[in-house]
Structure 1
């Protein structure tokens, strides 16, 4: 076995041992910062010993999964652990997997992060490029004129930058179908083909539905409207899930010598009808309803309260592992409203978690603690909060709530002024690059709030608990 010298293989073997050995591992996946284990026997896990391993920032059980927080280096640990457990019995694997994933909703929620994880680089890139285009076209320089108006030479750059943005966002269903089909265990290239059919130029752009009625394919017994799903998330996920499931179903009945010929044509043909005739319209309806609900909660008169509530509870979504589900809502709102109010609050919640750790750094004098707190704070300020959450804030407990209070206040301000981002971007302090430039002043003020309040509250509560003798000392 070729060893990666950048990671500690002794501790990798300890992780495998502490989860009950490779014989106890049914399946392992990962997201941006976490290893996710499906185990045969959860009772064999030694949680306390796992937490003592330096690379482990935290671990807990969620939806029959053991989730171990590693950090941004998680992919290397995932690949190394895979090398150590290659000899797992596939038949035993399938048996436990069918048991764990028997509930569709649980399956959908637990796998959303794994569907979106491969797409994150493109989504972040797209959000930042959209931000750059808005900087060129929206920031007033002199006499309320933008850079584009002052320097017409920027127009070709502005127009050229729409190429990657269009590819990333308008044709996002292609990437989602690919990732979903791959996750389910289908053929990824067929997932790409399915995704392309959802955004084909033959179809009416959904943005034009208000102005004109779509044409239809009339099959006699039924008709299918020629409507595209550009930039739509839920129809693509539903279509990819069906395709992956149906392809795996077909494999059980088609002989090996006919699989290459029969399975692609049958699965793709039937999936096309189901996607465009059933799942696509249902997905669009669900997406529109979600947009209406979010618009009510985070736009208009209720926006300050809704944004404050979301800012308060978002860290709990991170703890539970459900925070990746917000990507679906973010992208859906962005498609319908031209921007999302959710991402700015997520970024402010990242900053607030980091600031609570800074409060601990400033007030605590514990020996060797800064070896953990300083890297955790830096990581959270750049959008990866798990080290801060699990190594510091959940350890002390009260810094988590101090951070939640800070992000709630910052969220209230953002909601009051309807701050929007162009889309998904870098989290933490650099997130302003994805915020629409017209909202930069109020967003910078919200950022200051999300820094100051958690620091002050954390220092105050730390001193209070120390004076009362109830501060964690071990």
Structure 2
């Protein structure tokens, strides 16, 4: 047995025993439990264990933070518990019985976007790099960019857009695939549906606004004409179309005779879904997305934008606890599609930095506590790189006042952020590297916001910690 045998036995007892575990898995730093009765878990005793860095419940899952050695702990736990580990998806499915309606909706959105995040991060980094070489006028007295003075960099800039376009303009393909994957239907049909939304035969979504109504191409069926409009970078039309495909496929699979199901199910499902997408759902989804983005944009740019920024900056970290922060991915992407950039993502990156800075304050307060530093240091680093959960659940929420200090610093930074109109070209790059996703003309203002997000939480945490103590 491994070195975590005794800790594993203790954790098994504190979560309510083997009979209380519906499913268990692990991720990079956490044990993930779907418990039959979450009330049986002794949270205080679990968090008091030396091997445990913290715990929280999200989307019906009870998650215990172990750290980078979680894989070894997990192996010992499954051995002493006599349970078989399952995939994270199986744990999510088992945990759904503990979710209310809102949590189920948020979880569904989260599970749609989660597989897309790696590609979105790559796309964001690429757009950020392109910002640096084709939009920063640093040469010849500030009149030229690196691309202007070098054919190599100009060629590289042109080449990298191949990837950037694939990530963001062709996003509906990924969304349709992800929905069909989540719902357990034919993923290839989802891919084909997504491709029909961004086909080169259609008028590009980015060209619709500048095209006269009479010049928009149409499908002419004699009794009706349908605009041939693409849905590049559109989120809601893709989600609506994909779920339509899913339920059509499930319906036809249920009613079709087995002998002809191989032909009837994919043909009827796909053709009807594509028709619904272009005839009805696409225009409706576009309108819904435009309304949502226009309301958010009005809040960010209107006369009360400072209040909007303060509130968003303050509440974003608590939203992460509930899982509701996943909703912002769709809004960010819609803002980018409609307005060429998003002002929400810079505030999200600043919230990451602020929570990390609160941990930095705890590092100062606990500099002589080697055991605490084992949690503080990696949590701070991951937070500055855009992953906040270890810092929030492992450090800040444990003492609470660092969490509040981080929220205050985030709110102040967000006020400056919206006041200066700081805008990002892309999402996915959080924390300190988030500056790479910022439009070049706003990089200086974002740097000021970053300084606020570092200084304020760090200072407040250090001051309050000396008064309140950190035991």
TM-score by length of 1: 0.85
Shift of residue 404 of structure 1? 0.8
Residues 342-391 of structure 1 show CA distances to partners (whole Å, capped at 9, x for unaligned) of 11111111111111111111123546211211221111111111111111
Task: Give the one of 427, 434, 448 matched to 2:451.
Answer: 448
Structure 1: give runs of 5+ residues left out of the alignment: 466-470
Identify the residue that residue 138 of structure 1 maps to in structure 2: 135
Alpha-carbon distance in structure 1 between the residues aligned to 2:323 and 2:224:
42
Q: Choose from 362, 365, 377 the match for 1:363.
A: 365
Aligned partners of 2:51, 2:171: CA distance in 1, in Å?
Answer: 34
Partner in structure 2 of residue 285 of structure 1? 287
- In the superposition, relative to structure 1, how do residues 442 and 27 fare at CA in structure 2: closer, same or farther (>3 Å)? same
Q: Deviation per CA, 1:395-454: give whole Å up to 9, x if none.
A: 111111111111111111111111111211322112212212222222111111111111
User: Is the deviation greater in 437-446 or in 205-214?
Assistant: 205-214
Shift of 1:56: 5.2
Mapped pair 1:127 → 2:129: no
Q: Aligned to 1:368, what secondary structure does the other structure show?
A: helix
> Per the alignment, do residues 12 and 456 of structure 1 end up closer, same or farther by CA in structure 2, a change over 3 Å counting?
same
Structure 1 distance, partners of 2:22, 2:223, is 46
User: Which residue matches 1:468?
Assistant: none
| Of 413, 430, 452, the match for 1:427 | 430
The offset of 1:155, in angstroms, is 2.1
Secondary structure, aligned partner of 1:84:
coil
Q: Which secondary structure state, in structure 1, belongs to the residue aligned with residue 263 of structure 2? A: helix
Alpha carbons 2:332, 2:342 under 8 Å: kept: yes
8 Å CA contact retained: 2:18, 2:83: no
Q: In the TM superposition, what are the counterparts of 1:265-344 in structure 2 within 5 Å? A: 265-344=267-346
Structure 1 counterpart of 2:168: 169
Q: Does the Cα contact within 8 Å between 1:31 and 1:114 map onto a contact in 2?
A: no
Within the candidate set 234, 237, 245, 1:235 is matched to: 237
Residues 1:408 and 2:411 aligned together: yes
Deviates most, 343-352 or 270-279 = 270-279
| 1:17-416 correspondence to structure 2 within 5 Å | 19=15, 24=20, 38-52=34-48, 57-62=53-58, 64-68=60-64, 84-85=84-85, 103=101, 106-141=103-138, 142-210=141-209, 211-213=211-213, 214-219=216-221, 224-364=226-366, 365-366=368-369, 368-416=371-419
The 10-residue stretch of structure 1 (282-291 or 267-276) with the greater mean CA deviation from structure 2: 267-276
User: CA separation in 2, counterparts of 1:453 and 1:59?
Assistant: 27
Structure 1 residues 459 and 101: alpha-carbon distance in aligned structure 2, compared to 1, 3 A threshold: closer
1:13, distance to aligned residue in structure 2 (A): 8.0
CA contact (8 A) 1:32 1:117 kept: no
Q: Secondary structure at the match of 1:252?
A: helix
**1:270–1:29: structure 2 CA closer, same or farther, 3 Å change rule?**
farther
Higher mean C-alpha deviation, range 149-158 or range 439-448: 149-158
- Residues 16, 41 of structure 2: 8 Å contact kept: yes
1:202-248 deviations in whole A, cap 9, x for unaligned?
22212222222333335567654321110111111222223223323
Take 2:450 and 2:241, find their aligned partners in 1: how far apart are those partners? Answer: 39
Distance 1:267 1:23 in 2: 42
Name the Cα RMSD after superposition: 3.5
Q: Deviations over 1:178-221 (max 9, x none)?
A: 11110111111111111111111122212222222333335567
1:136-192 deviation line (CA, Å, top 9, x unaligned): 121111233222223344322221111101111110110111111101111111111
Measured at CA, do residues 219 and 440 of structure 1 come closer, stay the same or move farther in structure 2, by a change above 3 Å? same
